[in-house]
Structure 1
């Protein structure tokens, strides 16, 4: 009996399970025949295809769908819902502003936009509902029945990248904008909007005002650059404008160039200053580039060399320049052309490698100093200086010195000039004959005088006078080794140098007397 109950229970369970499985299979077969889809999927699809609709009252947003609010949140442009929506609509519907202004006379306006960056062609409908209410709806006809769904990770990645690009453009210091074929601005970054607001005293109309005259792009030429200025209430800013063609739109980039303009202005002023300085220099200047062509010269070069201005402005080579100098007899007369050419080659190589100076004695009696200096990037500069008067003055001075030296050598008195340091700077022939050791300092001279004569009060007085001791007398006498009495006198020249003069006297008979007697003898000799 128990075995029968067990088998009855197992049979009931199997029959129940089979019935449930059969019912599920029948329900699924019925769903497939009817073409049904899961209700959750329909709800998700329905939620993802909400329309973009705005409701404005007197241009103040009163209601909007979820996608419409998301569009306003992510759209760039000025503050305010209506200006921001117009900024988004303007590049996609170029004539939207004009048509929307006619909405009061027309109850409904339908517009088809130009193609965007992809293949979408949007449609816009504006309806006047009365009492200041305006409903604006934006649709994508190509996606109305497509049922396109985007997974959340892809949507998040696209939004993050879009946010990164938008922030980068808004934080860049350069002005970026886009304009259509009619030069109307259809988009601008935050820097452009801020600058437009400042120049417009806070009132920012749409379409945006043009701040800079940008360069016109050349078809097939890529980008084009132009420098433009922006006057903001008397403050001028400079920009380097770059344009790039993108279909029927043109992207504009304006990079701040104030620092470059200031540097160029400073360089230009510096060059002008140098040019004026070179023009006033009495020294002729000629600068040759690395190809040895004349790049710069001043008026003094024309005056000194006599070369024609047209020849110099034609940028001759260095060899042609030197050949013209030779034809005008403005170089030293060479023995032959080959030696002259070698001399000029040596001049060029020496000037290119380092500082080089030559003196040219010209056939016309003038003397030029020619200086060669290397310049950056392989250039070389030559300076021509007329030193004829300097040479003449030097020769005259040398002649005067020789004459003065000859006059001193003819004097009988022995003369020597001492500097304050004790150095002997000048002697005559009589001094050199009297003291032949050619001492160069006071110390050496005293040693020689002591070795050649006898020490005594006269020599001590002379030493004290030459060493600048106070209360030392200016005259005296000493005896040489032969017993001759030599009188001396010291006087100042120019306030610092001292002139020592020795005068020979007659020989003293007998032993040398004391110093007072020798002074008396010197007085007697002077009296004679």
Structure 2
């Protein structure tokens, strides 16, 4: 009985093995040929076939290698294949990542080309097939034409890779599908040291919107400078829509940004400086709009800051000054417009400078100066105190002159160089000489010669000439001289500040005896002149 059971068990085991073997044979018969074996690469002829293992190219047909060479040369074989086929078969990069799970997939593009991808034992086999009838429809390519096209492609690629600007193309979702050498070099600098460029290419400017930039070009973008970690690299970008894709050009703008920062700091420094100036400043650009003003201008002009911030024109600015009575009131509107035109023309040539007397008694000195780029600047100075002081000083001078003109003593004042600078009315009557009516300057030599002709011989005039030009410290001295008409004159010579000299002459009323006596030549002689 036991032997029967053993025999029955063996029969069942053999039967099971036979059934399994028959099932495998049947499955092999029903399974398509592509699942059974791959044709060797060297027997594929002109077909485009790639064989990859773990992202490394194991083998490829000559046409496949030629197709791979059209991809970016800075990429390794696997990401280069993704770059090439993703442009011809939409979604290829995403589908190929799931090949190990799906084992097989097929893609077809709009022109009828197909791409088959199959996974077997850790190997990925990718076959690209042209559309049916494409070979018959495509004319034969001349070898020399093909060479010329290849050389032209190499030249264009070399030019773009050598360009000092970033150029790249994005699809509708913002993925970078192509880039030149400068873009890739910057992307590599921004990546970690242990990372490598893959596909799709990294997006450098994350702040850039997806799709064509509708802002007025250029848009300024920046990325962190990996060399310094603290500074940023600046670029100005220009977009060009190409169907659903966007071609972007980025020009380096670091120098421009630094220049703008320097200019901004300079303007801020000037603004702070102008803010403490008592002189009002108004700068009008080439379009004659207010471009710059300081706080002193608002104080002097009584114009509202918001009005000045709205950048009024030169005419609006001056017209508002007239309304606020901070400019001279014109006779009529026509003359006012003419004055503005003349003012602008004079300021542009650098010749405008006027004094404005305002109705409230204030006085402004207004100066116009040209600036680079056709701009003009106006300076407003409040010289009311200066004008008031000048008027008081002039009034005091006129008062002093009036006093001196009403005394009997004839007075003449000489500078240290001997030039006659002042004389009163009594001097003109005594010597019959009015310096104001004489052409040219009157010096001490000419004056003493005039006096000597009118007087009896005396050494006084020679001594006076020495006294006027003496470099030593001087003291007052007196003398008497007699005119040829018999009038006796008391003379007084006084040193003044600034090495000036006062000469005073007073006729003496004398008795008969005194008239016959000789005149006193020296009443008190300076010790230095004895």
After TM superposition, is the score higher than 0.5?
Answer: yes
- 1:154 aligns with one of 129, 145, 154: 145
Partner of 1:404: 400
Residue 349 in structure 1 maps to residue 353 in structure 2: no
Partner of 2:208: 214
Partner of 2:464: 462
Q: Write the distance in 1 (CA, Å) between the matches of 2:327 and 2:409.
A: 50
| Pair 152,480 (structure 1): closer, same or farther in 2 beyond 3 Å | farther
| RMSD over aligned Cα atoms | 4.3
Residue 493 in structure 1 maps to residue 470 in structure 2: no
Q: Write the distance in 1 (CA, Å) between the matches of 2:203 and 2:398.
A: 84
Instruction: Provide, for residues 89-120 of structure 1, a one-character-per-residue CA deviation record: whole Å limited to 9, x for no partner.
Output: 343345434443444445544343x45xxxx5
| Pair 487,305 (structure 1): closer, same or farther in 2 beyond 3 Å | closer
Q: Write the distance in 2 (CA, Å) between the matches of 1:455 and 1:67.
A: 131
List runs of 5+ in structure 2 lacking aligned partners: 1-42, 436-440, 526-530
Instruction: Provide, for residues 40-66 of structure 1, a one-character-per-residue CA deviation record: whole Å limited to 9, x for no partner.
Output: xxxxxxx99723333444433444333
Which TM-score applies when normalising by structure 2? 0.71
Partner of 2:6: none
| Pair 447,140 (structure 1): closer, same or farther in 2 beyond 3 Å | farther
Q: SS of 1:110's equivalent?
A: strand
Deviation at 1:386, TM superposition (A): 3.8
Deviation at 1:323, TM superposition (A): 6.5
Q: SS of 1:141's equivalent?
A: coil
Q: SS of 1:178's equivalent?
A: strand
Q: Write the distance in 2 (CA, Å) between the matches of 1:381 and 1:157.
A: 63
Q: SS of 2:46's equivalent?
A: coil
| Conservation of the 8 A alpha-carbon contact between 2:220 and 2:236 | yes
Partner of 2:521: 518
Instruction: Provide, for residues 326-370 of structure 1, a one-character-per-residue CA deviation record: whole Å limited to 9, x for no partner.
Output: 665555567xxxx33233123212112214455444443334445
Deviation at 1:293, TM superposition (A): 7.2
Partner of 1:200: 191
Residue 228 in structure 1 maps to residue 228 in structure 2: no
- 2:180 aligns with one of 172, 177, 189: 189
Residue 139 in structure 1 maps to residue 129 in structure 2: yes
Instruction: Provide, for residues 412-459 of structure 1, a one-character-per-residue CA deviation record: whole Å limited to 9, x for no partner.
Output: 554443333332333344444444443622332343344344665443
| Pair 265,151 (structure 1): closer, same or farther in 2 beyond 3 Å | same
| Conservation of the 8 A alpha-carbon contact between 1:54 and 1:61 | yes
| Pair 454,62 (structure 1): closer, same or farther in 2 beyond 3 Å | farther
Residue 240 in structure 1 maps to residue 244 in structure 2: no
| Conservation of the 8 A alpha-carbon contact between 1:216 and 1:224 | no
Q: Write the distance in 1 (CA, Å) between the matches of 2:308 and 2:183.
A: 51
Q: SS of 1:91's equivalent?
A: helix
| Conservation of the 8 A alpha-carbon contact between 1:217 and 1:224 | no
Which TM-score applies when normalising by structure 1? 0.71
Tell me which moved more, 56-65 or 198-207: 56-65
| Conservation of the 8 A alpha-carbon contact between 1:286 and 1:382 | yes
Q: SS of 2:141's equivalent?
A: coil
- 1:420 aligns with one of 407, 413, 416: 416
| Conservation of the 8 A alpha-carbon contact between 1:461 and 1:476 | no
Q: Write the distance in 1 (CA, Å) between the matches of 2:287 and 2:472.
A: 72
Instruction: Provide, for residues 232-289 of structure 1, a one-character-per-residue CA deviation record: whole Å limited to 9, x for no partner.
Output: 2222122122222222322121122223333444444455555555655545566778
Residue 443 in structure 1 maps to residue 435 in structure 2: no
Summarize the alignment of residues 8-407 of structure 1 with structure 2, pairs less than 5 Å apart: 50-112=46-108, 114=109, 120=111, 122-128=113-119, 130=121, 133-142=123-132, 143-144=134-135, 148-202=139-193, 203=195, 204-212=197-205, 213-217=207-211, 225-232=218-225, 233-273=229-269, 280-283=276-279, 300=296, 302-304=298-300, 306=302, 339-355=331-347, 356-369=352-365, 385-407=381-403
Q: Write the distance in 2 (CA, Å) between the matches of 1:249 and 1:319.
A: 51
Q: Write the distance in 2 (CA, Å) between the matches of 1:71 and 1:397.
A: 98
Count of aligned pairs? 462
Q: SS of 1:405's equivalent?
A: helix
Q: Write the distance in 2 (CA, Å) between the matches of 1:74 and 1:301.
A: 67
Q: Write the distance in 1 (CA, Å) between the matches of 2:247 and 2:473.
A: 98
| Pair 452,89 (structure 1): closer, same or farther in 2 beyond 3 Å | farther
Q: Write the distance in 1 (CA, Å) between the matches of 2:96 and 2:319.
A: 81
Deviation at 1:511, TM superposition (A): 9.4
